[in-house]
Amino acid sequence: MTSLTFQENVSASTQTINGISMVGHSIYACIEGGTDTAVAAALLENKSSGCAWNGAPR
């Protein structure tokens, strides 16, 4: 991994945080480097299954 931006919306409602629209109780991670599989495994290992996600892999 060469770059990481991570933010979390802990409120129940959708909020815009640093210009990113995030659904309630969700995370946003923008990562450069590493494989999609390695990044996904790290996120799933460290966040609960009750956490929503924003966006899609690009």
DSSP run (H or E) holding 49: none
pLDDT category at 1 given cuts 50, 70, 90 is low
- Is residue 17 assigned to a domain? yes
How many folded domains does the chain comprise?
Answer: 1
**Is 45 within a domain?**
yes
Q: Check residues 47 and 23 and name the one with the higher pLDDT.
A: 23
Q: Is the pLDDT of residue 53 over 80?
A: yes
Residue with tokens 């923008």: 30
Q: Mean pLDDT, to the nearest integer, of 19-45? A: 90
Instruction: Please indicate, yes or no, if residue 58 is contained in any of the structural domains.
Output: no
Confidence of residue 44 (pLDDT cuts 50, 70, 90): confident
pTM tops 0.85, yes or no? no
Full domain range(s) for residue 15: 3-53
The predicted pLDDT at position 42 comes to 87
- Give the integer Cα–Cα distance in Å for 38 and 10: 25
